[in-house]
Amino acid sequence: MAPYGAPTVLALWLRRSPGAAPEPQAALRLEAGRGVVGDHTLGRRRHVTLLFEEEWGAACAALGVSVAPSARRANVLLSGQGGLGLIGRRVRLGEVELEIEGETRPCAVMEGGAAGLMEALTPDGRAGVWGRVRVGGTVAPGARLTVLD
């Protein structure tokens, strides 16, 4: 059972091809050892990317503008904060188990969301984290993130 206040899935996206706009999803299906089904990154090293609402808000505040979280091009937006603290940990998200392996480093593509966004996402892990799918399944809004180890 997820502890009170555990991060909760707020939104989901996938991108069918490189450079494509993120498409909102009612749910994502994740395949063990491969990633987000339907996403152009399926089978690559970074299976899924997680973004946290408070860290995204801090980046927008640093810019002084409001930018839709889809501009970050992540797969999952979660409430709360603290993605960096999950690196090296195994977590459950809905039916899925993930091994969080690293910080998502912002890149120049982020500038498409707003000028200066790449720099605003750089401090404190604001761009989120990425992980590999260990147990596949479905993730939908409302799913809570639970640390397993």
Over residues 89-94, mean pLDDT: 96
Q: How far apart are CA 129 and CA 101, in angstroms?
A: 8
Per-residue model confidence as pLDDT tens digits over 42-69:
999 999 999 999 999 999 999 999 999 9
Per-residue model confidence as pLDDT tens digits over 27-48:
999 999 999 999 999 999 999 9
pLDDT class for 88, splitting at 50, 70, 90?
Answer: very high
Query: 64 Cβ partners below 8 Å, 6+ apart?
Result: none
pLDDT at 1: 39
Tell whether pTM > 0.85.
yes
CB 86 within 8 A of CB 55: no
- Residue 2: is its pLDDT beyond 70? no
Query: 3 Cβ partners below 8 Å, 6+ apart?
Result: 146
Over residues 98-120, mean pLDDT: 91
pLDDT class for 123, splitting at 50, 70, 90?
Answer: very high
pLDDT at 4: 53
Encoded tokens for 27? 């749910």
Q: Which strand (E) or helix (H) includes residue 102? A: strand 96-103
End-to-end CA distance of the chain: 13
Domain ranges of the chain: 9-29+46-147
Q: Which of 19, 18, 44 is nearest to 33 (CA)?
A: 44
* Architecture of the domain defined by 9-29+46-147: Beta Barrel (2.40)
pLDDT at 67: 93
Q: How far apart are CA 123 and CA 31, in angstroms?
A: 31
Q: How far apart are CA 70 and CA 22, in angstroms?
A: 6
- Residue 109: is its pLDDT beyond 90? no
